[in-house]
Structure 1
Amino acid sequence: MKIRLSCLPGYETLVPKPRLAAGTLPDWVKTMPAKTESAVLAGAEVRTVKQCPPFLDAMQAGILFPLAADLTVENGELSWDWDLPAHPQGRTSRSPIGVHVPEQGRGVPGVEDGQFLVKFNSFWTLELPEGWWMLFSHPANRGELPFRTLTGLVDADQWRDGLVHFPAIWTDPQFSGTLAAGTPVAQGWPVPREALELEFGPMDEAALTRHTQVQDALQDEPGLYRKSYRAKRS
């Protein structure tokens, strides 16, 4: 699938580009052990999520959308030193972030009364092939980030000339420091816009045999899913 991303002429060297999530695991995943001892299991060795392909594949699927500029956070105040030049055809803010007033998030779990929502601004349009949505959400499994991006679904095959921004709840009021430009603030996954149909029923004899074989093999062969069932990634 080819996805086209466009920015205003002249901005292509000034604003960070979204990037494929493949191969962009954070440092904490790279440094965590693949196995560790479990106190609950009396010191028995267990595999960590570093050996869980679905956990890692979710983090490496789709597109990561970056923070446009360094963001300094001190005493609950957010500031930046970034002067993106005005563009004669520009119609939106040149700030890397904006806000949603508290009333816009009222009733959303996790939004405290009177709390502003952060809006991470994007400078790239996005065009998907006909019949595809883009699901935007918080970067998968990135709980260390001091915010939580809200989830949205956009008809990206139709909304190809407008920008998509990313509202988020600031979840760590004690955070102090700098979020670097390029920090992922949202992740997007293409989703086919098709009606879903659910079908239920008991396993037939052949399916039950396959199911039993898989369950038995899981006990005998660590990493079975990764070795035998995980599709090859490009």
Structure 2
Amino acid sequence: MKIIFRCDPALIDLLPRPVPARAALPGWLRAMAPRVESAVHGREIRTVKQCPPFVDAMRHGVMLVLPCDVAVAPGMRFSWDWPLPELSVPGHPRAPLSFHVPEQVAGSPLAHGVQSALKFNSFWTIELEPGWSLLAMHPANRDDLPFRTVTGLVDADRFNDVGINFPAVWLDEGFSGVLPRGTPIAQCCVVPREAPALAFEPMSDERIAGYADVASKIMAGPGVYRKGFRDKEGRGRA
């Protein structure tokens, strides 16, 4: 799978580039202890740092990042100092953020009173191979971020002449500080557009035996999935 990112010629050396999601893992994950003492178990237990599905979800696909520092004051007041050169593309955004009026999410769980929704503006167009779509979502397991990116699916094999913007809801109204350049804003995965065929059937004797075998191994000790089933070679693919 090849993903082509394009930007205005004047920005090619200024913009931070999308990166494989595995290159944007947060510091807290690296700092986590792999095991901690559990009062319930009376011994040390493994943390999510040693859970391959948890970590692999964070490593999967491509991460789009904030193009410049954005200062945030309480009450959702955003500012930035990001002088850009003259651009070649007409109608191209120059601000890292824009906004949706509250009415656009009225009646949905995304509504937070009269609060506007954010929109992270895109400075890259994204082109996929025919038959594939781009699933854009909040960076996986990143509840530490003060916003929540709204999930969307775009047929980027067809829609790739302009950038895909990423709406988000701001969650921490008391936040005061800076979202630094490079902050992950959207994790994107390439998915086939063709709907899967669904099949339903009872387990065969062979499947029942396989279930019992794997279940007993899981009960006997950790690492069964990681050692015997996880595709280490394919990790990090889009």
Return the TM-score normalized by structure 2. 0.94
Partner of 1:222 in structure 2?
222
| Aligned counterparts of 2:88 and 2:58: Cα–Cα separation in 1 | 37
Partner of 1:121 in structure 2?
121
| Aligned counterparts of 1:18 and 1:63: Cα–Cα separation in 2 | 7
Partner of 1:105 in structure 2?
105
Query: Residue type matched to 1:19 in 2?
Result: V
| Aligned counterparts of 1:33 and 1:122: Cα–Cα separation in 2 | 36
Partner of 1:46 in structure 2?
45
**Would you say the 8 A contact 1:68–1:122 is kept in 2?**
no
Give, in angstroms, the shift of residue 54 of structure 1.
Answer: 0.6
Query: Residue type matched to 1:186 in 2?
Result: A
**Would you say the 8 A contact 1:68–1:121 is kept in 2?**
no
Give, in angstroms, the shift of residue 10 of structure 1.
Answer: 1.9
Give, in angstroms, the shift of residue 63 of structure 1.
Answer: 0.5
Partner of 1:79 in structure 2?
79
Equivalent pairs counted in the alignment come to: 233
| Aligned counterparts of 1:66 and 1:23: Cα–Cα separation in 2 | 12
| Aligned counterparts of 2:168 and 2:109: Cα–Cα separation in 1 | 12
* Greater RCO structure (CA 8 Å; 6+ sep): 2
Give, in angstroms, the shift of residue 111 of structure 1.
Answer: 1.7
Query: Residue type matched to 1:97 in 2?
Result: L
**Would you say the 8 A contact 1:63–1:189 is kept in 2?**
yes
| Aligned counterparts of 1:113 and 1:174: Cα–Cα separation in 2 | 15
* Identical columns (%): 48
Q: Deviations over 1:181-217 (max 9, x none)?
A: 1100000000011122221121100011111100001
SS across alignment from 1:10: helix
- TM alignment of 1:182-221, pairs within 5 A: 182-221=182-221
- Whether 2:29 is the aligned partner of 1:29: answer yes
- TM alignment of 1:140-155, pairs within 5 A: 140-155=140-155
SS across alignment from 1:118: strand
Find runs of 4+ consecutive structure 1 residues off by over 4 angstroms.
none
**Would you say the 8 A contact 1:138–1:185 is kept in 2?**
yes
Query: Residue type matched to 2:183 in 1?
Result: T
Which ranges in structure 1 are unaligned for 5 or more consecutive residues? none
Query: Residue type matched to 1:71 in 2?
Result: V
SS across alignment from 1:59: helix
Give, in angstroms, the shift of residue 220 of structure 1.
Answer: 2.1
- Whether 2:85 is the aligned partner of 1:91: answer no
Return the TM-score normalized by structure 1. 0.96
SS across alignment from 2:133: strand
- Whether 2:135 is the aligned partner of 1:131: answer no
Query: Residue type matched to 1:157 in 2?
Result: D
| Aligned counterparts of 2:96 and 2:150: Cα–Cα separation in 1 | 17
